[in-house]
Homo-oligomer: A and B are copies of this chain.
């Protein structure tokens, strides 16, 4: 999996950061892409990346503020002309998202060449397929806002069939028993331990991608033991109180969330335009004092998840 940040600013586009969007690319399934939030000009940002709009098959919207939403109708419309002719897209978001999409597409007479499915979500398991599950939980923002937790299923361990064959054991039900973790006893009394012939299962990875929020318990829950937690850091701690009034976090409180969640890595996004290039290091420093494995995403930052998190 790879994270491609398309917009890492807060509220309004600036010359340095576009409004919110981040793409999660699954390397193992033909480059399938899930998009999280779709602020205005997300499709423009994509033009400057290697991401293919037709590969986007799920879009998750954390909340309906314009800076997370207003790029959606344009992206859906353009995708019809970008070899996305038939492959369907599922869109998940808070109540109201369906009315927005319907109105935008109808009034503009945008006729998509592919089917879309719009799911107005609540907390809980919102999507399950191909060994992946997505859970949503409510955050604390000024309007209903969700965080998402993507969990890969664990990969079962692999049986060393070659070795068993060399030992003279023909393929059959005994192989299956070993695979399922049961030890077997051969006719001559030899005991074959499952653990000696089956590699340990590979645990699934966890990526938590959060919408706008002030510090809250659900953010910690969403990030629990995650390989990477993506958390907003609108301001520095010195402005934390003011930010909380507007349902936003400081870099430090994002780091506290990551530490309490026992996440392996933290990536900060949704950075206020008041912080320019030099001031970015202040946000980073503040967070790293609490949670050392912290990065700040810029527009077009790419983070391979494997490399982020050595637990």
B-side contacts of A96, CB under 8 Å: 107
Bits for A91-129, please: 1 = Cβ < 8 Å to B, else 0. 000001101100110011110000000000000000000
- Report which of B44, B65, B108 forms a contact with A13, defined as CB distance below 8 A: B44
User: Which of A68-76, A187-195, A282-290 contacts the other chain?
Assistant: A68-76
- Report which of B13, B73, B107 forms a contact with A43, defined as CB distance below 8 A: B13
B-side contacts of A69, CB under 8 Å: 107-108
Expressed in whole angstroms, the minimum distance between the Cβ of A161 and any Cβ of chain B is 51
Inter-chain CA distance A93–B113, complex, in Å, is 27
Q: Is A47 an interface residue (CB 8 A)?
A: yes
Grouping DSSP codes into helix (H, G, I), strand (E, B) and loop, the A interface class, with mixed when no group exceeds half, is loop
Inter-chain CA distance A85–B48, complex, in Å, is 34
B-side contacts of A74, CB under 8 Å: 13, 19, 40, 66-67, 70
Inter-chain CA distance A74–B68, complex, in Å, is 11
Contact across chains for B100 and A70 when beta carbons are under 8 A apart: no
- List residues 47-96 of chain A with CB under 8 A from any CB of chain B: 47-48, 64-67, 69-71, 73-74, 77-78, 81, 96
- Report which of B15, B81, B108, B143 forms a contact with A12, defined as CB distance below 8 A: B81
Bits for A7-45, please: 1 = Cβ < 8 Å to B, else 0. 000011111001100000000000000000000110110
B-side contacts of A48, CB under 8 Å: 15
In the complex, which residue of chain B has the Cβ closest to the Cβ of A72?
B70
B-side contacts of A73, CB under 8 Å: 66, 70
- Report which of B44, B100, B142 forms a contact with A40, defined as CB distance below 8 A: B44
- Report which of B41, B81, B103 forms a contact with A99, defined as CB distance below 8 A: B103
- Report which of B19, B97, B109, B143 forms a contact with A109, defined as CB distance below 8 A: B143
Do A12 and B66 form a contact, CB below 8 Å, given A44-B40, A107-B96?
no
Inter-chain CA distance A103–B107, complex, in Å, is 11
7 contacts between A and B (CB under 8 A): A12-B81, A13-B43, A13-B47, A40-B71, A41-B41, A96-B107, A103-B104
